[in-house]
Amino acid sequence: MSPPTPLRILLAPMEGLLDHSLRDTLTRVGGVDRCVSEFIRITDQLLPERVFTRVVPELRHGSRTAAGTPVRPQLLGSDPACLAENAARLAGLRPAGIDLNFGCPAPTVNRHRGGAVLLDEPELVHAIVAAVRRAVPPAIPVSAKMRLGHRDTARMLDGARAIADAGADELVVHARTKLDGYRPPAYWERIAEIRRAVAIPVVANGEVWGVDDARRCLAASGCDAIMLGRGMVADPGLALALRGAAAPGWNELLPLLAHFWQRIAGHVAPRHRAGRLKQWLNLLRRRFPPAQLAFDRVRETNDPAAVERLLFGTPSAAPWQAGAATCRT
């Protein structure tokens, strides 16, 4: 009897939230096998290399985070030829693979024929994947992420087969349609249908907030790989917990909050920095009660100096840190 296949854990792309600063921070915790970047929009021009490295600065460091976790840049668009040309240029930066976005539900993206709306056109999906696959060296993996469909699941299997038959090496499936958005539940059992229909590895994604969710997702989908998004942002120790390892409590996460704050100071405009930190705290408070106290302290300010003072700079920050060791259960 062969041994069980080890669980693979991927960190999801999340536009406007999970950028390179948060990727760097979360992968320092451990347990993640690979990250996918937020999408790089491809329209009608060949982008300069600096656009790719701005979104995915890890490309300057072997396509890995500081913790050594590979990062796969993601492209989004609808023109096969233009996507192929940009993928070829991106391949010159030696990425840890190239991912294609057929899952974004954002109305502005969909109106410009990007993301999940393309699932209504499996023939175009096939053409995009095939063009990108031909354009990059065989050693560079090409993967894709899709939803169960645009407005319904009628063409779900057509879309999945289009991706697989065009030469993709892996498929991530977010178990909701575009119309479902991010409303629970996620229909993990539909991923099992896709898995049976294609001959490439399939990764399950959607509505996994904790270990129990992940176990039910893997059982329903039949997958041996899972992509974590908001659940990992809300609980940075989730990947470790899924592996049966000790996950950090709140006290262990405090240095990561400070690290993240320092990281965003390097590339986020001052007026937006507090918002980025509050965005993360807003998710962390689902799991950690002290995060609510921290969120409340900075709720009314967007002044970086005030955030420094209230959370990181003086002993007055202590109340939201006190007793934190008991808060992870």
Residues forming the active site: 104
143 token code pair: 């993967």
Spatial distance between the Cα atoms of 36 and 138, rounded to a whole number of angstroms: 19
Spatial distance between the Cα atoms of 56 and 23, rounded to a whole number of angstroms: 10
Spatial distance between the Cα atoms of 18 and 35, rounded to a whole number of angstroms: 10
- Other C-beta atoms closer than 10 Å to the C-beta of 143 total 23
- Other C-beta atoms closer than 10 Å to the C-beta of 158 total 18
Spatial distance between the Cα atoms of 221 and 4, rounded to a whole number of angstroms: 16
For residues 180 and 156, is the Cβ–Cβ distance under 8 A? no
- Among residues 5, 10, 1, the alpha carbon closest in space to that of 170 is found at 10
- What are the φ/ψ torsions at residue 47 (nearest 5 degrees)? -75, 145
Peptide bond into 185 cis (omega under 30): yes
Spatial distance between the Cα atoms of 241 and 243, rounded to a whole number of angstroms: 5
- Among residues 268, 267, 269, 299, the alpha carbon closest in space to that of 282 is found at 299
DSSP letter for 114, please.
-
For residues 71 and 65, is the Cβ–Cβ distance under 8 A? yes
Q: Apex CA 65: angle with CA 6 and CA 41, to 5°? A: 100
Helix axes 250-265, 289-298, angle to 10 degrees: 30
DSSP letter for 169, please.
S
Q: Output Rg (C-alpha) for the chain, integer angstroms.
A: 20
